[in-house]
Copies of this chain bind each other. A is one copy, B any other.
Amino acid sequence: MKVSKKMETLKSYIDSKGLKSTSQRDFIAETFFKSNTHISLDELLKKVKRKTPNIGYATVYRTMKLLTEGGLAISRQFGDGQTRYENLPEDGHHDHLICIKCSRITEFQNQRIEQLQSETAKKHGFTVINHKLELYGYCSECM
């Protein structure tokens, strides 16, 4: 999904909830949508402050909470004690290979796994909204 499209989706979501638009929130959301890493609140705040120094931490925090609730961001915990936020992938869901030595994170996709997941969930009467698959181990360089 393109950034502009995401901004539209956000606007609809805000409207549907009876909330109001603000320039700060728009800018934070746009900055996040343009980032392509697993960004933490601190990192996002730093980025935002480059152009808009007087934006507060709380606003960034609340914006990311809003985006997460609205399905425009995915919050993740990789075990380093910080929540990180990830953009919706352009091309379907992806999962992670995490090197426990060098911390490198590689993304991958496997349609068949996705399919099996849905089937399994259905078997348990479960409706899946989101999922996380993380493989921890050693990357080729650290082996």
* A residues with CB within 8 A of B: 75, 77, 79, 97, 99-100, 106, 108, 110, 112-113, 116-117, 120-121, 123-140, 143
Contacts and interface: CB of A to CB of B under 8 A. Distances in A.
Given A130-B136, A137-B129, A110 B121 contact: no
A139 B121 CA distance: 9
- Copy number in the complex reads 2
B133 A132 contact: yes
A130 B126 contact: no
A15 to B, nearest CB: 23
B133 A131 contact: yes
A126 B110 contact: no
A14 to B, nearest CB: 21
